Structure 1
């Protein structure tokens, strides 16, 4: 049963202060994440190719995340999100799935500070300090203005999360509100512009090589589209863990489906492929100014930075809770599974601070960081989605406040096979995009193996032990069954 806090001791459970719309606000990181990959995808795939793949990837994400509504309500007291569902489903067959899924999920979310800190630094330099192109070499690493700015951002957002969930959520709402400005401008205003020319967009996916390229790009896109599952990580912190988790996931799926389908067509058709190829990382800025009649470059840059801050804030909150859950369940070093007296996973936050500084300084390229983390991230989804089938088979009578129709069982198998296909092709060929290669793949595999090694050393019992059976933990009063199909 959930532990209760004794006066003068550290709390054992995360405080329940969130509502479903807080989780939905967290999911706005996914539309914001388009900033890091949309321009590059249009350049590599053509406008129509990018639009088609973003739509297909989002449809895949919709099916996957709909499955997570059942899993999330089965385990409303787990702060491990989909990695916890994977561990639960596979623990009797393959207990090593727990550390692989935990680390595989934590790494991409945990490195988002580095990923988007680098993008933020590049935007600031391009807009306000274009002449500052200095670089300092420190042995095998180098520092420049974008990297220094990224490091400052990492420290600031770490401090925001240290203060507490209320300040974090206030920061999330402010940045999510600002994000709505460019989303409206990029989706609606191009439709009323004479320069909007969607028929000028091209399709660069031809033959078998085009299919391979598409799968590699879906490997990269997976982080941005599948990331809606962030809503499930906060299940223990929702006031009503069952209702709020399901509502947050469904709202995020529907909203992001529309955004991911429309923006490549509207903004891509307005900006034009030539302009996007010339500056895939910051073409948004010029397009924003042009759509508003000029003079909006500074405003757009600030909006973009706000959206990146939203991604990073959410990522810190999500990844720190996953690492806390891993420590609490003995999947990694147990000392990180502790909360301070205010209910904040401080030790997990400290680990993330150090890791992001190292990742940003070593990898530097945002997409290189993304493709490094995607190996474990997609692998975690494979274990979690297939886990839906296993849990239906192994625990047919388990409490399921939301029980999806039967056709979701074969659908989970189809989705698992498709994700495996994307993983194999993408992980062995992402150099086609110009980002990543042997080094990034080796780092990803090394991190996953390190997670398994740490797990072996932290286990207290022989190998047949798995993580605690969360389905046997009585649900809290706020987690009573609310829906059945």
Structure 2
């Protein structure tokens, strides 16, 4: 068990250390287990690249997707420092935001955590519906029945709900089934990745003339173009920045310091290669107009050209596996965020429960309920994405700036992977950039065709809910007082069972 340093120990009265007899998170993961969880990111770009290319052209799509991933890689490097400073914290980057900001603005923690949770949890609804739609288009195109009387129900939504419930059941059984599911679906992912990243370059009809550039503002001015770029970078942040999911499992790695660093860096470099090659390979093989007309359907057409109709059906199954992988990572990561929030005093105690399989199951209940409601009551996935993205980007702003604040406010904390000074400057630049991204992207979202002001207000409402739950925890459950400036640094220690470290 990690023991805090003595000056901080004296100020830890309001934060309880986990009881050794209480079910806890187990150290059963290696760095490559976290890497597999981050393989959900290629699934994100596969699912949405057709929409981007259809709007911006292949080179425009390359610019915004590769730009987003370069930013994500730099952020992952910066997150290696706080990940090893607080190895006992479950919940990932939202916990770093909490630690860095609590003495200056206590609401930064709950706002970051609820934003982080919303960003990851929404993957269940979005990819459940995407998978359902792909299954319908590929094998059940005649099943066009639908119900739209207060709720929205059709075959894709039924499939989405079944997937959400199935993944909840698997994740509730512990980390081992989650890892097995991750390796199975992650392995399936590599086949379509090769067919989409490499093979198109060798097709006889691959043409550089298909690599068009459409990343220009409505009036052609520099200002409108910058606005368009920032809007798309803001949209892509929801998927590209997600490689930080490796940090969410920091307390569960065998060697927290080494495994967390390896998982963060290696997953980032792999995803960088994917995000660089996919727009070029697919853009040269399938025209902008064809991708725009069928943002998902064009994959089936391309696969038929590469391997025929029978092989195409098989690879579509593998594509579905990549989407299920994303949902699997979201279910596991979202539940741990709510658990970490509760253990850190940022939300109600009810979430701080672990079942007999050492899984934070109550967070999963909420994930399942919220996403099934989203599937039934929201007409498209657009509203889900647009609403959840605001809090997720805000979480990164708070987490990156927390690294700088912790250097200033708590210089005595151990930093096993201490960043050099140039990286602190990079962190500062990224904070400013993400602030601009949030300010421009959230208010210009409609120019991408993915939402408008209604989704902005939903995103603000989610942040407000996080703040209200934090206030309730402090005043009602902890019998304390609510303050915007919490002077006491956290010394939270989540007990991790050492006997499983060699498992």
Report TM bin, short chain: over 0.9
1:300 to partner: Cα distance: 2.3
Tell me how far apart the structure 1 counterparts of residues 487 and 144 of structure 2 sit (CA, whole Å).
50
Tell me how far apart the structure 2 counterparts of residues 111 and 285 of structure 1 sit (CA, whole Å).
26
Tell me how far apart the structure 2 counterparts of residues 64 and 192 of structure 1 sit (CA, whole Å).
34
Tell me how far apart the structure 2 counterparts of residues 152 and 294 of structure 1 sit (CA, whole Å).
27
TM-score normalized with structure 1 length: 0.94
Tell me the residue number matched to 2:193. Answer: 183
Instruction: Specify the SS of the correspondent of 1:397.
Output: coil
1:57-136 aligned at under 5 Å gives the runs: 57-136=68-147
- Residue 168 (1) aligns with residue 172 (2): no
> Please, which runs of 5 or more residues in structure 2 have no aligned partner?
4-16, 499-503
1:17 to partner: Cα distance: 0.4
Contact 2:122 2:384 in 1 (8 A): yes
Change in 2 beyond 3 A, CA 1:467/1:133: farther
Tell me the residue number matched to 1:421. Answer: 436
TM-score normalized with structure 2 length: 0.91
Instruction: Specify the SS of the correspondent of 1:401.
Output: coil
Instruction: Specify the SS of the correspondent of 1:143.
Output: strand
Tell me the residue number matched to 2:27. Answer: 16
Change in 2 beyond 3 A, CA 1:82/1:467: farther
Deviations 1:138-171 (A, max 9, x none): 32x2211111111111111111111111111101
Contact 1:118 1:364 in 2 (8 A): no
Contact 1:228 1:252 in 2 (8 A): yes
Contact 1:398 1:471 in 2 (8 A): no
Change in 2 beyond 3 A, CA 1:336/1:477: closer
Tell me the residue number matched to 1:153. Answer: 163
Contact 1:79 1:236 in 2 (8 A): yes
Tell me how far apart the structure 1 counterparts of residues 149 and 162 of structure 2 sit (CA, whole Å).
18
Tell me how far apart the structure 2 counterparts of residues 210 and 43 of structure 1 sit (CA, whole Å).
17
Tell me how far apart the structure 2 counterparts of residues 376 and 132 of structure 1 sit (CA, whole Å).
37
Tell me the residue number matched to 2:391. Answer: 376
Change in 2 beyond 3 A, CA 1:273/1:25: same
Contact 1:178 1:303 in 2 (8 A): yes
- Residue 315 (1) aligns with residue 330 (2): yes
1:281 to partner: Cα distance: 2.5
1:32 to partner: Cα distance: 0.9
Tell me the residue number matched to 1:454. Answer: 469
Among candidates 291, 306, 318, match of residue 276 of structure 1: 291
Tell me how far apart the structure 2 counterparts of residues 477 and 458 of structure 1 sit (CA, whole Å).
27
Instruction: Specify the SS of the correspondent of 1:14.
Output: coil
- Residue 255 (1) aligns with residue 247 (2): no
> Please, which runs of 5 or more residues in structure 1 have no aligned partner?
479-485
Tell me the residue number matched to 2:225. Answer: 210
Instruction: Specify the SS of the correspondent of 1:46.
Output: helix
Tell me how far apart the structure 1 counterparts of residues 386 and 494 of structure 2 sit (CA, whole Å).
39
1:53 to partner: Cα distance: 1.2
